[in-house]
Amino acid sequence: MSDLLFMTPVFKHRIWGGTGLKDLFGYEIPDQNTGECWCISAHPNGPSTVKGGPYDGMALDVLYLVERHLFGDGYGEQFPLLVKLLDAKADLSVQVHPKDRIVNHQWVPGKSECWYVLKTDPDGAVILGHRASSKACFEKLIKEGRYDDLLIQQPIKQGDVIDVPAGTVHAILKNTMVLETQQSSDVTYRLYDYDRKDASGKKRDLHLEDALLVTTIPHQEVITSKQIIKSSHATITRHINNAYFELYECVVEEKLSITHERFLLMSCLEGKGLINGSPFTKGDHLIKTILTNEVVIEGHATWIISTPHHKNKEAFPHEHLEFR
């Protein structure tokens, strides 16, 4: 079957990573500092591969290139989104991502993202934004090392969803795990890394000049307005509808039918059951291709589902997913 593509993730060693991905999902991780699971990725720095079916073992970037009929047109030459799990045993660096831009006459995607908080401490927090009113003020506070004065901390709890547009200064802090949905980009500019050193005793590089060029100054707070949708045996919450994608949380209590003519990225965070007759369990990630318009989930489970916005909205006037 090629209407559903189950994916084999790629794992990444990170200085701030731990064993949470194994502890929570049972994954076989490569080491004790595994910070990232690239669940659904067509990025060349870590493409995930198809598990089972006629495309078994094929990397998603290759599949998107040679079998575009599974995804449809209108999303560009690069697969538009990347879904990750991040396990922050320690604080991530304070960083910022660029917006969409033109490089050598070619369009290059930025990195707008959002986080679904899977777990955190009772006093958990993230860094989201800054207090500088001007570029000069921003530079002065960094030069003087006054990061407490510069950076804004936001309390978080399990189940929170946080929109992080490109240009936003941010950091996931220790003992937090999130599912991240983002544009398919791997460009990060570090502003501050707590003066820590890597395994070789060397401080990691900072990118202050690049970061200053792309940071939104002054900070612009993003207010998300979630929409709750009820079906007979499920609760659906649309958390994000930004310029690049929509993101839904679906808590299925018995059975849920989802209708959408475009492709979907789906991650099971809790539970088990059947999806279009195929078994699934916690930690599975898959793509619904356009070969089917309907997905039927049976069982008790929590899913995060995202879909990229089509470049031609007139061709798809019904943007949102339909549930019953």
Catalytic residue set:
190
For residue 315, give both structure tokens. 């061709």
Residue that is written with structure tokens 């995930």 in the block:
48
Spatial separation of the C-alpha atoms in residues 163 and 181, rounded to whole Å: 10
Spatial separation of the C-alpha atoms in residues 44 and 38, rounded to whole Å: 11
Q: Please tell me whether residue 208 adopts helix, strand or coil conformation.
A: helix
Spatial separation of the C-alpha atoms in residues 195 and 200, rounded to whole Å: 14
Who contacts 306 (Cβ-Cβ below 8 Å, separation ≥6)?
A: 81, 83, 181, 240, 245, 246, 247, 248, 264, 265
Looking at this protein, which amino acid is placed at residue 191? L
CA atoms within 13 Å, Cβ hemisphere of 99: 9
Q: Partners of 250 in the beta sheet? A: 236, 303
- DSSP, residue by residue, 220-236: -------EEEEETTEEE
Task: Please count the residues of the chain.
Answer: 324
